[in-house]
Amino acid sequence: MSGIKKVQNRLEELGKIAADAGIDIADELGRISAKVEKSSLSARVWQRVELARNPDRPRALDIINNICDDFIELHGDRHFADDPAMIGGIGFIDGIAVTIIGNQKGRNLKETMARNGGMANPEGYRKALRLARQAEKFRRPIITLIDTQGAYPGLGAEERGIGEAIAMNLREFSQLKTPIICIVIGEGGSGGALGIGVGDKIYMLENAVYSVISPEGYASILLRDASLARHAAAMMKITAEDILGLKVCNGIIREPAGGAHLDPATASGAIRDVILRDLKDLMTRNPAVLVRYRNQKIRKFGHFTEE
Amino acid sequence: MSTQKEGAQDSCPACKSRIDEESLRANLMVCPSCAHHFRMEPIDRIDYLADKGSFSEICKGMKSLNPISMEGYIEKLCEAEKKARMSEAVITGTCAIGGVPVVLALMSFSFMGGSMGSVVGEKIARAILTGVDRKLPVIVYATSGGARMQEGIFSLMQMAKTASAAAELDRAGLPLFLVLCDPTTGGVTASFAMLGDITIAEPGALIGFAGPRVIEGTIKQSLPEGFQRAEFQLEKGFVDLIAPRGEQRGLFIRLLALHGFGGPAKGANDANGAKGGAA
């Protein structure tokens, strides 16, 4: 930031010197200043994207282990398989029994392969729905931890109806009579993120991003050049501040200086505090009212005019 | 496979036989030789599906804004409006089919690839909720390349919005009929398009979440013939039946009757039903 400011101050000085000498270069300096600002925005946003994707960043299971007093992982969708890219289970947070569902990425190559890079197949979304319904049955609140580039775009995923699986989650999560808190902990990408992203409260970690498509995808489809990802990232409004400003999330959970990967325990503590604060409120609400508010909020997303 | 060009064409992309625009239109945009289904605009579908003069549009004046100030988006919208001769990628309204009142929503692929932004999401949601308010069945003709990326996160959230509306119709015990047209992909597939009580596909329609090129890029091999087509989705269990266009009106009259809307005898001979199973 200060570097940019210095350049801009220097440009201003140059403008004054030129004006004193009777030369008008204000327009040209303005253009340079705008360019500097734009590239600094790209750089700042891209730094966030890199932090969100940092392999050392705490993953869903790391956070769960930090915030739960006891956690039992549960497996399988009861129809096809267990999807290691989507994890879930039950545990206590400060004495409150909760169901936690999350996208799980790996940390090294071997883990990443085993977790399919955190990109779930239909069975992952169906497992999530099974656990969510179970949570409703036993009156447990649901916490979702979102961290995926998107659902897996593979042959088997299509054959087994990835579109239907996500669609069903959107519909059913909107109706579950139990509190749902969704937290984007890293990458929130596309329908794959939203598949566990419908809830009463949506939070983002400070360095998380949330977008309809990856910056690379946006660049290659709309800008027809995948190498323009940095540029696309700045245009797409994907940082936690952007998403909060657009009123799509309820708040930002601050990370330790330098990012959550430098101090996962502190980052997890901040997540735990937010969950506990919100659960105290959400758990007192009448379930029917909770569902009504949730849907009223969902229906407000969007900007348009009516004649 | 069917990378057909927009506008006038003189031959069928599937069988290569020569067709003129007029006879194509007279045949509901279906090739008379090989029954290839060309894309069809909402206005033409209304002409065929709805009882004459019964269609009454809702949310007609709703227009997109530029919610994340995306460079060039407003210009894109203006171009699309001129090209598609529609104000957005979906038309919604009420009409009668065989004398039975219904809510009808029809998407257009010509308007920015049928992409779903705030307006498309809102109009679809309101159409579905109109069904709830007036206790009417809802019929949606879907065709879309997916989310309107120029609207950023708001385009993603339309998936949740339309699904929430579909949930309400579901709870009200009213039927949602979906017709999946070529192509139906991305965020539309992963929301309301896959939430129908009855899901009908047009023959040969591409239906999937990820686009074929994205999948090919992931698996690094080319896709098998017919992958993600309507017939494939029928085989995999994601659509109830495939209905050729000429049979859709008759099919709806029967389906509506079976859901308690309109008498059973009325319109049963309007047209033959659709082919299930081996289409």
Residues B129 and B204 in one domain: yes
- Best residue in A214, A304, A306 for a mutation probing chain B (most B CBs within 10 Å): A304
**Contact (Cβ atoms closer than 8 angstroms) between residue B29 and residue B202:** no
In a domain, B240, yes or no: yes
Residues B141 and B165 in one domain: yes
Cis peptide bond upstream of B183, omega within 30: yes
Model pLDDT, residue B4: 45
Nearest to A167 among B152, B195, B215 (CB): B195
Q: What is the pLDDT of residues A21-52, one digit of tens each?
A: 888 888 888 888 888 877 788 899 999 999 99
Report the C-alpha gap between B253 and B49 in whole angstroms.
10
User: Stretch B8-37: mean pLDDT, rounded?
Assistant: 90
Q: A230: distance to nearest CA of chain B, Å?
A: 15
A172 touches chain B (CB under 8 A): yes
Residues A162 and A202 in one domain: yes
B6 pLDDT more than 50: no
B124 pLDDT more than 80: yes
Per the structure, how many domains does chain A have?
2
Q: What is the pLDDT of residues A170-218, one digit of tens each?
A: 999 999 999 999 999 999 999 999 999 999 999 999 999 999 999 999 9
| Partner-chain contact A191 B190, CB within 8 Å | yes
Residues B170 and B105 in one domain: yes
Looking at beta carbons, which residues of chain B come within 8 Å of A212?
A: 147, 149, 151-153, 155-156, 187
User: Stretch A78-106: mean pLDDT, rounded?
Assistant: 97
**Contact (Cβ atoms closer than 8 angstroms) between residue B119 and residue B91:** no
- Best residue in B77, B118, B156, B235 for a mutation probing chain A (most A CBs within 10 Å): B156
Q: Which ipTM value was assigned to this complex?
A: 0.92
A142 pLDDT more than 60: yes
Q: H or E element: which one contains A63?
A: helix A60-67
User: Stretch B256-263: mean pLDDT, rounded?
Assistant: 93
In a domain, A273, yes or no: yes
| Partner-chain contact A305 B194, CB within 8 Å | no
Which tokens in the block code for residue A24? 């008008």
Residues B70 and B198 in one domain: yes
Angle CA A181–A183–A184, to nearest 5: 155
B1 pLDDT more than 80: no
Question: Helix or strand or coil: residue B242?
Answer: strand
Beta-strand pair B100-107/B138-144: parallel
| Partner-chain contact B147 A212, CB within 8 Å | yes
Report residue B191: phi and psi, to 5°: -140, -120
| Partner-chain contact B214 A246, CB within 8 Å | no
Q: Which CATH number does the domain housing residue A237 bear?
A: 3.90.226.10
For residue B20, what are the domain limits? 9-38
Q: What does pTM read for this prediction? A: 0.92
What DSSP letter does each residue of A175-194 carry, written as one string? T-SS-EEEEEEEEEEHHHHH
Looking at beta carbons, which residues of chain A come within 8 Å of B159?
A: 166-167, 170, 191, 194
Residues A211 and A287 in one domain: yes
Q: What is the pLDDT of residues B232-242, one digit of tens each?
A: 999 999 999 99
For residue A16, what are the domain limits? 2-50
Max intra-chain CA distance, chain B: 56
A222 touches chain B (CB under 8 A): yes
Looking at beta carbons, which residues of chain A come within 8 Å of B70?
A: 235
Beta-strand pair A180-189/A142-148: parallel
B113 pLDDT more than 70: yes
Nearest to A302 among B161, B186, B189 (CB): B161
Contacts across the A-B interface (CB distance below 8 Å)? 187
| Best CA proximity match to B144, nearest among B42, B250, B243 | B42
**Contact (Cβ atoms closer than 8 angstroms) between residue A29 and residue A14:** yes
As a whole number, the mean pLDDT across chain B is: 91
Beta-strand pair A201-205/A142-148: unpaired
